[in-house]
């Protein structure tokens, strides 16, 4: 562990720290940004008697952050900030998160905990494949790696042939990336006759996209590695909000830095542990953009608040199932792309690239699942249609294409294509 004492705090003490820091966060908002303070109902730090009082605060949404581009909800003058990261903003105005020097420290700390949770030490060689820049992925791993002192291969995204070469040249032991990138590595490795077993690669840390258990097994098997699912987003201060540990029974969220709640996405009611709903995050130590009850739109549940086999006491969440805005509704049936992925990935003869095409034709819902295989087998195609029907009760057309016919993306994978 990177910070054994902090990562194994008793729950009582952890919650005392949370309460104390929540009050400080409210105090900061009150002092630094009146508009933000008014938006959350002008709370006095002393009004908060217990963590339970948090549920009386209004939610903060992505739209709130967007509307306040760039610094409308920022707490501090621009000269107090040292950098920012930004959501990609492919859909509308981006979200900007400004960092104070303490925020950069905080980020490095939680990322170092994540890397240590995946078993990394100063002896490791970490190949960082997310982009460095406005996207938080690259710099998140960069700051974490600086804290644990491992050797970094700062290659960034793309250049897959060079990535494979570097795995050997620099004896890479761990690779970080967005969750669809290992598929690209596996694909090019196959084409090139590159054998992951001839490398020192042992660990993969992937995130920023929903990836099913079946996809995870596929990556682990093909690359011969243990994978870790890392979560976090621009709004929470970047990648590193949580990660699973070697026990792989849930994603630990660093509770001395964040409070998580699970709420009903429809009503906003807080759900008891074990019930699935939308993840809501309150930051406790962020200065530039403290969040009070931020609706992440990620669907998950609390698995446990007990001490994990790894020794850590911080809450464990189920792996993210999807996002509320990923949910597809076809002929009245709601489902997540990940559910389709799970079916597809159970068939080793189907390649891990797929696409779900949804839209309306003359007011009627139309949906199609496109898969790739080297075997153009009508029976296989029908079988997938049947399995989808038995899961969702929905007839979905499955189209079988040849290897490489579904376009690959350098960034996040495009799993769902919508038309209207």
Binding site for Zn ion (CB under 5 A): 245, 247, 308, 310, 312
Of 4, 35, 55, 123, which one interacts with its own copies (CB under 8 A)? 123
Contact residues for 379 (Cβ-Cβ < 8 A; gap 6+): none
Task: Single out the residue of 4, 10, 35, 82 in contact with its own copies (rule: CB under 8 A).
Answer: 82
Checking DSSP bridges between strand 416-419 and strand 350-361, what pairing results, if any?
parallel
Site for its own copies in 165-204 (CB under 8 A): 169-171
Nearest distance, CB of residue 276 and Zn ion, angstroms: 21
Instruction: Please report, for the chain, how many H helices and E strands are present, in that order.
Output: 11, 21
Give me the DSSP letters along 274-332: T--EEEEEEESS-SSS--SSEEEEEEE-EEE-SPPTTS--S-EEPPP-EEGGG-EEETT
Does residue 74 interact with its own copies by CB under 8 A? no
Look-up: residue for tokens 């029976």?
Answer: 379
φ, ψ dihedrals at 232, nearest 5°: 135, 160
Q: Which helix (H) or strand (E) holds 163?
A: helix 160-169
Alpha-carbon distance 320 to 304, whole Å?
15
Task: Give the pairing of strands 316-317 and 302-304.
Answer: antiparallel
Residue 245 Cβ vs Zn ion, minimum distance, rounded to whole Å = 3
The CA R_g of the chain, rounded to the nearest whole Å, is: 22
CB of 414 to its own copies, least distance (A): 20
* Residue of the chain from 21, 28, 30, 85 that contacts its own copies (CB under 8 A): 85
Dump the DSSP string for 335-403. E-HHHHHHHHHT-TTEEEEEEEEEEEETTEEEEEEEEEESS--HHHHHHHHHHHHHHHS---EEEEE-T
Would you say 34 or 307 has its CB closer to Zn ion? 307
Provide the token pair at 116: 């240590």
Q: Which one of Zn ion, its own copies, none interacts with residue 308, CB within 5 to 8 A by kind?
A: Zn ion
Comparison of 6 and 245: residue with beta carbon closer to Zn ion: 245
Shortest separation between residue 308's beta carbon and Zn ion, angstroms: 3
- Rounded Cα–Cα distance for residues 11 and 242 (Å): 17
Residue of 45, 72, 119, 156 that binds its own copies (CB under 8 A): 156
Burial 240-254 (b: 16+ CB within 10 A, else e): bbbbbbeeeebbbbb
Nearby residues of 362 by Cβ (< 8 Å), 6 or more positions away: none
139 binds its own copies (CB under 8 A): yes
Pick the closer one to Zn ion by CB: 114 or 345: 114
Stretch in the footprint of its own copies (CB under 8 A) among 83-91, 177-185, 328-336, 364-372: 83-91
The structure tokens listed for 196 are 């992951």
- Name the binder of 320 from its own copies, Zn ion, none, CB < 5-8 A by kind: none
In angstroms, what is the minimal distance from the CB of 159 to its own copies? 9
Taking CB within 5 to 8 Å according to partner kind, which of Zn ion, its own copies, none is near residue 151?
Answer: its own copies
Check residue 58 for interaction with its own copies (CB under 8 A).
Answer: no
Is 57 one of the binding residues for its own copies (CB under 8 A)? no
The option from its own copies, Zn ion, none interacting with 245 (CB < 5 to 8 A, set by class) reads: Zn ion
Residue 2 contacts its own copies per CB under 8 A: no
Chosen residue from 14, 155, 262, 340 binding its own copies by CB under 8 A: 155
β-pair type (364-373, 350-361): antiparallel
Which class for 259: exposed (0-12), middle (13-18), buried (19 or more C-beta within 10 A)?
buried
**Does 334 interact with its own copies (rule: CB under 8 A)?**
no
134 binds, among its own copies, Zn ion, none (CB under 5 to 8 A by kind): its own copies
Each residue 88-107 as x (binds its own copies by CB under 8 A) or -, in order, gives -------------x--x---
Please identify which residue in 134, 188, 357, 380 interacts with its own copies, judged by CB under 8 A. 134
For the bound state, the minimum distance from the C-beta of residue 248 to Zn ion, rounded and expressed in Å, comes to 8
Which residues would be at the binding site for its own copies (CB under 8 A)? Answer: 69-70, 78-79, 81-85, 101, 104, 122-123, 125, 132-134, 138-139, 145-146, 149-156, 169-171
């Amino acid at each position: 562990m990177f910070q054994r004492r902090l990562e194994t705090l008793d729950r009582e003490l952890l919650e005392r720290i949370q309460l104390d820091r929540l009050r400080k966060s409210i105090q900061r908002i009150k002092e630094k940004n009146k508009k933000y303070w008014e938006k959350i109902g002008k709370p006095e730090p002393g009004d908060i008697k217990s963590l339970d009082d948090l549920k009386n605060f209004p939610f903060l949404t992505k739209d709130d952050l967007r509307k306040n581009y760039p610094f409308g909800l920022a707490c501090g003058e621009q000269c107090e900030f040292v950098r920012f990261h930004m959501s990609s903003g492919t859909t509308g105005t981006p979200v900007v998160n400004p960092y104070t020097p303490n925020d950069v420290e905080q980020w490095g700390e939680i990322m170092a905990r994540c890397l240590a949770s995946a078993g990394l030490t100063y002896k490791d060689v970490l190949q960082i494949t997310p982009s460095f820049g406005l996207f938080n992925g690259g710099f998140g791993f960069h700051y974490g790696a600086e804290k644990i002192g491992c050797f970094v291969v700062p290659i960034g995204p793309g250049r897959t042939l060079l990535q494979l070469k570097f795995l050997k040249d620099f004896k890479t032991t761990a690779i970080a990336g967005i969750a669809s990138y290992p598929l690209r590595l596996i694909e090019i490795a196959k084409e090139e006759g590159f054998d992951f077993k001839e490398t020192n690669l042992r660990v993969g840390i992937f995130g920023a996209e929903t990836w099913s258990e079946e996809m995870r097994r596929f990556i682990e098997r093909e690359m011969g590695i243990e994978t870790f699912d890392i979560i976090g987003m621009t709004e929470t201060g970047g990648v590193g909000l949580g990660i699973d540990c070697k026990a792989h029974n849930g994603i630990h969220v660093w509770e001395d830095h964040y409070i998580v709640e699970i709420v009903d996405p429809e009503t906003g009611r807080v759900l008891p542990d074990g019930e699935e709903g939308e993840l809501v995050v309150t930051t406790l130590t962020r200065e530039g953009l403290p969040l009070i009850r931020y609706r992440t739109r990620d669907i998950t549940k609390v698995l446990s608040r007990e001490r994990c086999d790894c020794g850590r006491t911080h809450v464990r969440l189920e792996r993210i199932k999807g996002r509320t805005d990923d949910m597809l509704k076809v002929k009245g049936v709601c489902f997540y792309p990940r559910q389709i992925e799970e079916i597809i990935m159970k068939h080793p003869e189907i390649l891990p690239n797929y696409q779900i095409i949804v839209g309306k034709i003359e007011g009627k819902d139309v949906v199609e699942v496109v898969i790739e295989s080297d075997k153009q087998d009508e029976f296989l195609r029908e079988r997938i249609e049947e399995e989808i029907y038995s899961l969702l009760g929905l007839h979905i057309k499955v189209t079988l294409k040849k290897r490489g016919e579904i376009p690959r993306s350098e960034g996040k994978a495009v799993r769902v294509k919508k038309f209207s």
